[in-house]
Amino acid sequence: MVYAVIDTNVMVSALLARNANSATVKIVECMAQGKITPLYHEEILTEYEEVLSREKFHIDVSVRKALLEYIRKNGVVTERAEYEGELIDPDDRVFYEVALSDEDSFLVTGNLKHFPHDVRVVTPAQMLLILEEQEV
């Protein structure tokens, strides 16, 4: 099992994906299978709710609510570890700080360039490779 903060862009991409084999879909599946334990903070859940509710995405309310409920029940609520550095998008700070709060956790994102170069900040595809290595 791996602890990870899942960036909102990964969630959106997974829920909108047409390819069931896409890395983002597989990340959400791994979360549902218990291979990834999501770390979260209430600010992250608030962002998920706000973004996944956007009309342009047409994400069904029941899907959105089920995802958020799953994270609340199966995830680990975590405090933020303060990060003094600059980030391209200030809204990303909570994701990075929650990931920093646990030395064994990852931040899974489709926007690597938004975060400091850190081996714990990975793409969905990289996270899948990490999970495969752990299974061996």
95: its two tokens:
């994701």
Residues ≥6 apart with Cβ < 8 Å to 63:
15
What SS3 state is found at 28?
helix
What pTM was computed for the model?
Answer: 0.95
Domain 2-135 adopts which CATH fold?
Rossmann fold (3.40.50)
25: its two tokens:
């879909």
Q: Tell me: the pLDDT tens digits for 58-95?
A: 999 999 999 999 999 999 999 999 999 999 999 999 99
Residue 113 is classified by DSSP as: G
Residue 136 has pLDDT above 80, yes or no: no
Predicted local distance difference test score (pLDDT) of residue 1: 87
